[in-house]
Amino acid sequence: MFNDLSTGQLVAVAILPTLLAIVVHEVAHGWVAYRLGDNTAFMMGRLTLNPFKHIDPIGTILVPFILIITVGFAFGWAKPVPIDWRNLQQPKRDIPLVAAAGPASNFLMAIGWGLLTKLASILPSSLSAFAEPLTYMGIWGIWINIILMVFNLMPIPPTDGGRIAISLLPSRMSYSLQKIEPYGMFIIVGLLLTGILWQIIGPAVEIVVTLIQYLTGLH
C-alpha cells in the first residue's frame, strides 16, 4: 500500500506512529513496574511520553529511518526504561507482568490506530485531503505496533519474551536461557540480516494484523 508514496511522504506518515509505538512500549514497562513497587523509572523522569527522554539515536532514529527508505518498513527501539527488579513486591509474579506490559501496549495501540483508520474511511469525500494521510498513518500504526509486539515476544533474551520465559521456566531451563542473553542481540541482528527474522515472525504478524482489522471493522 505504501509503494505509491514518495520517501518524504512515507517518513511523514510513519514518524508519529513509530515514535509512539517505541516510546509507549517503554513507558508501559516503567508504569507497571511503578505500580508493582519499583519507582526507579519514575524517579528518573522516564514515565513520560516526551520522546526526548527515551530516544536512542541509533535505535529510535537511525535504524528506523534507514529501513524505511531501503525496505519500506521498519522497527526500532528506545532507551530501556530503568527497572530495579529487586524492588518488585513479588518478583516471580511481577517480572513477567512488567515484561508483558510493553507488547500489551503495542496491541492496544494497534487497535487505536485501527479505529482511527476506520474513522478516516467514513469521512466525507470533501475531507479526502485529510482522510488519505490519516489512513496511511493508521495502517502504518497497526503494522508497526504488531511487528514490535510479535518481535518482542520472541523468547530470545533480552527481548520481553525472553524475560518472560526466564521467569516462568523451571530453574534449569531458565538458567540455560539466561546464558544466551549476552549474545541475544547478535542472534537477532543475524536473523534480521539473513531475512530469517521475518520468516519467523511474519506469519504471526499477519495473523494478528488480520485480527486487529476484524476487531476495528476494517474487514
Q: Under DSSP, is residue 48 helix (H, G, I), strand (E, B) or coil?
A: coil
User: 91: which 3 cell numbers?
Assistant: 518478583
Catalytic annotation present for 206: no
Percent helix / strand / coil, the chain, rounded to 5: 75, 0, 25
Residue owning grid cell 530495579:
84
Q: Rounded to whole angstroms, how far apart are CA atoms 172 and 169? A: 8
Report which of 97, 105, 61 is spatially closest to residue 79, judged by C-alpha positions.
61
Dig out the grid coordinates for 204 from the structure: 504471526
Q: Do 141 and 212 touch, CB atoms closer than 8 A?
A: no
Q: How many helices (H) and strands (E) does the chain have?
A: 9, 0
Q: φ and ψ at 90, to 5 degrees?
A: -135, 85
Catalytic residue, from 26, 132, 181, 206: name it.
Answer: 26
Nearest Cα to 201, choosing from 79, 129, 112, 106? 106
Q: Which residues are catalytic?
A: 26
